[in-house]
Structures are given as structure tokens and as C-alpha cells.
Amino acid sequence: MEYVTLSNGVKMPIMGYGVYQVTKDECERCVLDALKAGYRSLDTAQSYFNEEEVGNAIQKSGLQREEIFLTTKVWVEHYGYDACRKSVEESLKKLKTDYLDLLLLHQPFSDYYGAWHALEDLYKEGTVRAIGVSNFYPDRLVDIASFANIRPMVNQVETHPHNQQIEAKKWMDKYNIQIEAWAPFGEGRGGLFEEPVLKEIGAKYGKTSAQVILRWHIQRGVVVIPKSTHYERMVENLNVFDFTLSAEDMEKITQLDKKTSSFFSHYDPNMVEWFAKMVEERKNNHKSETEKKNW
């Protein structure tokens, strides 16, 4: 495994296992498989609703807690200082740990400054080894990096050959913020796995298009968290440290950049409205569930 060193000196595996869209029913088994395959970095979030299963798997794995780099993210409805701290306490309980290796703010909306101040204090108290953000576009990233007491150490954003974040990465590099890719394969949208360039490069090295994509990320210094529910694919994804793409290959992949999201834009006001509506619906659903339990 290769590592990156964050701005505060913490070492983070350049590849981890992500559990976005892994169901509660499958999550514990999948995380155990990932740890068996050799992953030592796990990425979850409050909004994935599987923190508890991740915690169960870590506990059952037989590995020491310090052998695992554990990341979770605070969801928007828990923004603001007090709500954020309370939600992190709940995450720690679900994950069955007394500290996190990395804690991120999941979205750049609502009172993210209040939540960020909570992360800063949790970091100072030693509950969190590193703090960062997710989905922060360059303008908001520079904002928080410039005015917060502690700069984010990581920014997790959509990054893959069809959306390479070249300009955004320049800003992250300028502020010494580590880029991390969610959807490092772009979920295969736009026929990414079938791109002739990727298949041609893969054939040269005896690798799949997916392995070429992961190697491309790694050589750019991008942390990746590929997700799979199949053990064989988990092993395959890890098998990318035995070859190096040439400068020519890297340039060919650069030419695949469409410079646009394969999913959604946080700049789009319609998307912001959608997030706001979703947060409100989740609050109401949570309130209803709580009332049922207390009835």
C-alpha cells in the first residue's frame, strides 16, 4: 500500500474501501471481506446509514483499531456547532470507537462554518486525527481555508477520467489540501469502462480498464475509495501497485476529461433546493420515528 501525508503529518492510505450504497444487510460482510482482502482504510458517512455495520465488522475482524484508517462524514441536517458535536458522538457509538482518523463535512450547504468549528475543537481535543470537507468547490474551499482557524486537510470530490478536477486540484494543491475521489470510476457512467483508450492501455499492461483508472488516480496523487460488494473485485482493485503508467498513457487519459459532473453540480440552484428539501424530509421522518418510539 502507498500512503499520502496530510498537512498535519498524518499518513493516509492512498486506497481505501468505500461503503456508499452498500446496504445495511450487506455492509458488515462487505467490510469484513475488504479487510480480509487487505484494505486498511474505510470510508462511511452518517447519510449512508451503515456506520453501525462498519463498526461491527471492525470489531469482528480481529484487527486492532489503530491498524485501520476510519473516515466518516457529518450530514447537513447536523450542521451548526452543537448539533455537529452531538452527531459525532452518535457516530462514534455506532462505529464502536473513541476516535476517528478523518472526519469530513459532507456538503457545502447550511451552517457549515458552525459545524467546522466543532470539527476544529474535536481535532484539538484528540477525538479526530484529521478533518476535512467533501464536495467543496474551489470558491467555498478557498473561503473556508482562508477564514477557518484550521484548514481542511482533505477534500473529497467527484473525480474520474470524465471529470478530472484539474483546476480544482490546483487550488487544493495551493492550500495543501489532499484531494480524495468519490466515485473514482464515475460508476461507469458515459461508458467509461468501455473507453477504447483505457482498454488499449490496459491490454498493454495486462490490466482491466478499472485497474488503469485506479492507477491513473494514484499517479496523480489522488486518494481513492472504490466500492464493490464482490470479494474478487475488491482484490482486483488492490492489485494496482505493480505497474506504472507512462507519461504518454497519462496524457491520453487526460484527453478523456469532459470537465463536467457525471452526477450533479453543487453550483446548480435546483440541486441546492433538492438538498434542502431532502434534509427537511429526513428531519420530519426522524421526528416521526422518535415520536413512535416514545409513544
**pLDDT, tens only, 199-232:** 999 999 999 999 999 999 999 999 999 999 999 9
Burial 266-275 (b: 16+ CB within 10 A, else e): beeeeeeeeb
> Which residues of the chain have a pLDDT value below 50?
290, 293-294
Residue-level pLDDT at 291 = 53
Place of cell 421526528: 287
Catalytic residue among 48, 79, 112, 123: 48
Cell, residue 266: 453543487
Distance of CA 156 to the CA centre of its chain: 5
Site of grid cell 499518513:
11
Q: Is 180 helix (H, G, I), strand (E, B) or coil?
A: strand
Span 141-153, pLDDT tens digits: 999 999 999 999 9
Q: Can you give the pLDDT at residue 294?
A: 47
199's grid cell: 482498454
Decide if 231 is catalytic: no
How far apart are alpha carbons 128 and 130 in whole angstroms?
6
Nearest in space to 180 (alpha carbons), one of 168, 193, 162: 168
pLDDT in tens, 160-191: 999 999 999 999 999 999 999 999 999 999 99
Q: Of 71, 80, 14, which Cα lies nearest the Cα of 48?
A: 71
Name residue, grid cell 468519490. Answer: 182
Q: H or E segment at 4?
A: strand 3-5
- The helix/strand/coil state of 126 is coil
